[in-house]
């Protein structure tokens, strides 16, 4: 992974992240293994998302909170795979594959699971797949731009960190809605926001790449 292809993150410069990345770099752990770990975390999060309902205490409170927790673990894997690769000097020629493919799998797992968990509308499943498709296309446009020597465009308004932040907040709020109203409108709104925001991100990145290539 080249430094120019990294998503700009302030947390990467924090003391705690640098210390933990240094700790991981000294262990028998590769950046690619950490990247695979993000899929595992997302898969576990998606399982908990599928359990969300107003049936009992576990499905109302435990499932969404654990899903939110594992989403944050996914983001930590996304943070430390690059730091261990570059700052830790463990980068590999196949690093780009492990940098991008796990993210596409992770997003799809989470959004499709969210669609299946929705019960208050009849098209929740379709909405989940649509959000997953648009999320994947935001990355496709970024990678395409980089391959055309236009640089990696990480513009939003719905980049990966924004999608995961919105989803995490929604999962934390969902238990209150379920316990009070037995509805899942927060999750429905979340999928709509992610889908629309990702679509706008595709347009924004495409325009930026076009202007760069045309020298505008």
Q: Give the structural domain span for 204.
A: 11-213
- Res 72: pLDDT: 98
Query: pLDDT band for position 96 (50/70/90)?
Result: confident
Report whether pLDDT(204) > 90. Answer: yes
Torsion angle defined by CA atoms of residues 164, 135, 207 and 213, in that order, rounded to the nearest 10 degrees: 100
1 belongs to a structural domain? no
- Res 93: pLDDT: 86
Name the pTM for this structure. Answer: 0.94
What total number of domains does the chain contain? 1
In a 13 Å sphere around the CA of 80, the CA atoms on its Cβ side amount to 25
Residue 177 neighbours by CB under 8 Å, 6+ apart? 183, 184, 185, 186
- Res 2: pLDDT: 55
56 belongs to a structural domain? yes
Choose between 190 and 6: higher pLDDT: 190
2 belongs to a structural domain? no
CB 70 within 8 A of CB 48: yes
Report whether pLDDT(78) > 90. Answer: yes
6 belongs to a structural domain? no
- Res 15: pLDDT: 92
Q: What is the mean pLDDT of residues 145-173?
A: 96
Identify the CATH number of the domain in which residue 188 sits: 1.20.120.1760
CA dist 207 → 47, 150, 214 (Å)? 37, 11, 10
178 belongs to a structural domain? yes
- Res 3: pLDDT: 56
Angle between helices 124-147 and 160-181 (to 10 degrees): 170
Q: What is the mean pLDDT of residues 141-159?
A: 95
5 belongs to a structural domain? no
4 belongs to a structural domain? no
3 belongs to a structural domain? no
């Amino acid at each position: 992974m080249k430094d120019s292809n990294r998503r700009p993150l302030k947390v990467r410069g924090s003391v705690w992240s640098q210390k933990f990345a240094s700790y991981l770099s000294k262990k028998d752990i590769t950046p690619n293994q950490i990247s695979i770990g993000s899929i595992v975390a997302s898969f576990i999060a998606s399982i908990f998302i599928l359990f969300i309902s107003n049936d009992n205490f576990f499905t109302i409170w435990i499932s969404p909170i654990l899903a939110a927790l594992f989403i944050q673990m996914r983001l930590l894997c996304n943070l430390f795979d690059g730091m261990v690769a570059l700052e830790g000097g463990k980068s590999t020629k196949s690093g780009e594959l492990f940098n991008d493919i796990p993210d596409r799998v992770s997003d799809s797992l989470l959004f499709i699971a969210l669609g299946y968990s929705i019960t208050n509308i009849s098209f929740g499943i379709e909405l989940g797949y649509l959000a997953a498709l648009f999320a994947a296309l935001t990355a496709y446009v970024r990678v395409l731009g980089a391959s055309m020597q236009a640089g990696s465009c990480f513009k939003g308004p719905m980049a990966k960190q924004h999608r995961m932040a919105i989803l995490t907040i929604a999962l934390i709020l969902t238990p209150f809605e379920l316990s009070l109203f037995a509805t899942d409108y927060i999750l429905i709104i979340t999928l709509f926001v992610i889908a629309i925001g990702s679509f706008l991100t595709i347009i924004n990145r495409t325009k930026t790449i076009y202007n760069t290539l045309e020298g505008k």
